[in-house]
Amino acid sequence: MPLKILGQDASKYKTTIEILNRGEPIVGWINVASSVNTQVIYSPSLGAYLKVFLARSKLEGLKTAFRGSRCQRARQNGAFLVNAGFNTPPCNCWGKLENGQEYMITMASAGTGITEYIYDQLHHNRSPEGLKHRRNFLLELGIIIGQLHLAGIVHGDLRTSNILTKFNGANHDFYFIDNERNSHHRAIPLKLIRKNLIQLNMLLPTKVSRSDRWRFFAAYNLSLIHISEPTRPERIGGGGVGVGKK
């Protein structure tokens, strides 16, 4: 199988991919913790992540034939997010190694994973200004997730480590990563709404209080009032509407 190097930055990363294809260590790139189904390395000097998609099972080829490869879905879902008005780090190079494994290179966002952001930057600042900043962050996070669902998008793994954030001086920008399992719906089933909200709610209670969680859900619910009544119940937005019930 021939080596494929595609994308607008193909020439920039040609040497890097050729070394990867030979199975040799790439100088200047460091390993990053990832799932057992991927290999991720990072170049601080280039500000880029290289993800290799490892085969999850012997049925991987069959699934790819019907659904497209995980790399292909990641790129398509990223483009879908951008077209819908959301942020995701750009992918400027992708392709396939001679062993059949696909890869993609994305530029690093200036943002921080919101798990780290909450734990390290918001949790310890108990000043009045710090509490205000924390509450505004939760408000903005609730609104952006509500907008994501309003757009008919379900993230495949909406744990807080897959959302990056950056404070721009006035409010927070958010970036969605690991998008290969995202799905798009005209009306999102309630079970998928719940799944995303549960994934976001997995932060430790010692770091995120019950009041913090309610602030997030209140903002999420507020974003759903823009859904017209005929399309609102039980499917898109159903998880948010149910949060306020006792």
DSSP 108: P
The confidence score (pLDDT) of residue 60 equals 59
Which one, of 210, 207, 180, 158, lies nearest residue 69 by Cα? 180
pLDDT digits (tens, 9 = 90+) for 163-207: 999 999 999 999 999 999 999 999 999 999 999 999 999 887 778
The confidence score (pLDDT) of residue 28 equals 96
Element (H, E) at 212: helix 210-223
Tell me, rounded to whole angstroms, the distance of Cα 47 from its chain centroid: 18
> How many percent of the chain have pLDDT more than 90?
67
Q: How far apart are CA 194 and CA 25, in angstroms?
A: 42
Bridge partners for 163 per DSSP: 176
